[in-house]
């Protein structure tokens, strides 16, 4: 059995190898490939998005491999056509966005992924961004380093809200949103949730389930934790921001396509929003000249919410468990196209 570990500079190839060796008790031959992300930004490879490396280098590395585990290698029609021995392609991300699932199914290649790998890291980062936006921490830190003491920000009209006894609205209550709910509840916040796919009993007394309009109207802080779909693209626009209370804070550590960022900038300029915190953007990296770079009271990080050593290790471990299931003749737990699995 030959396995290609196509790692990068975050989820290292050796993490895949170590995790698979810990799970698999049969003889395995490994090949390794290191993709350039994040030293080089990911992008479009062939017909798939958010991928790293090239089709040709992946094809060469896959020679004779039945299994590939990776975070960002692009599984394209060209790669599939050139890799007839490939049977399992594991992507250590919450969703297999860098794989052509339809083509993989036609070629009999099962695609697995790693849901929840970065849930803890992203939830913790969300809290950091939220609190930083509410208390102006990055801006005042930078000014203090520059010798400016902003004691004037103690004025009533300049201060933000506390979490305790405030309503915090969470849009999405999956692995990340549910953790954020527990964290803000620990601060004494009252938690509102909007998630049309919520299972009965999922809130477990921590939060109140409400419609989106109600959540926006009542929440001092709104944090997004939804996936991007045709239904959710641009779900927070001018109308939704206008419905939020004056002085509210908007946080997005999910996906840039969920929010109209121009509308956010307008609301910050007018003073309707107190602050905003973003880890994701409509275009990454943020282009020069973007209003996001000059509008005040925005806390920004460069899509780093999931960046922790534990995330990288969990990503490899989740894939390794499905590799072991596959080798035992069992269906993988996290398979995007189970119809591609050969009958036993």
Task: Name the 3-class secondary structure at 190.
Answer: strand
Architecture of domain 2-117+308-340: 3-Layer(aba) Sandwich (3.40)
Residue 255: name the closest of 93, 54, 17, 23 by CA.
93
- Enumerate the domain spans of the chain: 2-117+308-340, 119-300
Q: The pTM is what?
A: 0.91
Of the residues 303, 328, 334, 339, only one is catalytic, namely 303
Amino acid 343: pLDDT: 61
Q: Which fold has domain 119-300?
A: Rossmann fold (3.40.50)
Q: Which of 284, 325, 330, 339 is catalytic?
A: 284
Give catalytic status of residue 255 as yes or no.
Answer: yes
The active-site residue, picked from 194, 225, 255, 325, is 255
pLDDT in tens, 173-208: 999 999 999 999 999 999 999 999 998 889 989 999
- The yes-or-no answer on residue 106 being catalytic is no
pLDDT of the residue at 133: 98
284 given a catalytic annotation: yes
119-300 matches 2-117+308-340 in CATH topology: yes
Task: Give the confidence band of 8 by pLDDT, cuts at 50, 70, 90.
Answer: very high
């Amino acid at each position: 059995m030959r396995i290609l570990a196509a790692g990068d500079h975050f989820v290292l190839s050796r993490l895949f190898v170590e995790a698979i060796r810990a799970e698999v008790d049969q003889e395995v031959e490994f090949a390794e490939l290191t993709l350039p992300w994040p030293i080089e930004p990911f992008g479009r490879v062939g017909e798939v998005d958010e991928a790293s490396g090239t089709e040709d280098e992946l094809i060469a590395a896959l020679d004779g491999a039945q299994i590939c585990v990776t975070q960002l290698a692009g599984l394209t029609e060209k790669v599939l056509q050139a890799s007839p021995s490939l049977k399992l392609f594991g992507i250590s991300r919450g969703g297999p966005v860098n794989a052509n699932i339809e083509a993989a199914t036609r070629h009999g290649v099962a695609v697995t992924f790693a849901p929840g790998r970065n849930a803890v890291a992203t939830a913790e980062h969300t809290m950091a961004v939220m609190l930083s936006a509410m208390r102006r921490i990055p801006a005042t830190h930078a000014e203090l380093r520059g010798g400016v003491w902003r004691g004037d920000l103690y004025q009533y009209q300049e201060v933000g809200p506390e979490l305790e006894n405030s309503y915090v609205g969470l849009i999405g209550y999956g692995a990340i949103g549910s953790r954020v709910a527990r964290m803000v509840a620990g601060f004494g916040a009252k938690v509102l949730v909007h998630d049309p796919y919520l299972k009965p009993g999922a809130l477990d007394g921590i939060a109140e389930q409400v419609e989106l309009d109600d959540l926006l109207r009542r929440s001092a802080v709104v944090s997004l934790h939804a996936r991007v779909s045709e239904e959710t693209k641009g779900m927070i626009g001018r109308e939704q921001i206008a419905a939020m209370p004056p002085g509210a804070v908007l946080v997005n550590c999910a996906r840039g396509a969920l929010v109209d960022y121009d509308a956010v900038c307008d609301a910050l300029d007018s003073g309707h929003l107190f602050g905003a915190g973003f880890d994701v953007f409509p275009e990454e990296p943020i282009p020069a000249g973007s209003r996001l770079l000059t509008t005040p009271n925005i806390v920004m990080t460069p899509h780093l919410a999931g960046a922790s050593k534990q995330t990288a290790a969990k990503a490899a471990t989740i894939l390794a468990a499905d590799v072991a299931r596959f080798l035992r003749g069992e269906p993988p737990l996290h398979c995007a196209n189970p119809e591609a699995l050969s009958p036993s």
